[in-house]
Amino acid sequence: MKETQSGEFSLPVRVYIEDTDAGGIVYYVNYLKFMERARTEFMRSNGFDKAAVGGDGQLMVVHSANINYRKPARLDDELKITAKVVQLRRSYLVFAQQVWRQSDNELLCEGEVKVACVDADTMKPKAMPRVIQEALGKCE
Q: Distance (Å, rounded) from C-alpha 11 to C-alpha 34?
A: 9
Q: Distance (Å, rounded) from C-alpha 128 to C-alpha 118?
A: 8
Query: Half-sphere exposure (CA, 13 Å, Cβ side) for 21?
Result: 9
Please give the backbone phi and psi of residue 57, each rounded to the nearest 5 degrees, phi first: 75, 25
Each residue of 12-43: pLDDT tens digit? 999 999 999 999 999 999 999 999 999 999 99
Query: Half-sphere exposure (CA, 13 Å, Cβ side) for 61?
Result: 13
Residues identified as active-site: 21
pTM over 0.85? The answer is: yes
* Confidence class for position 5, pLDDT limits 50, 70, 90: very low
Q: Distance (Å, rounded) from C-alpha 59 to C-alpha 65?
A: 17
Which CATH class, in words, describes the domain spanning 2-137? alpha beta
| CB distance 83 to 38 below 8 Å | yes
- Sequence spans of domains, the chain: 2-137
* Confidence class for position 121, pLDDT limits 50, 70, 90: very high
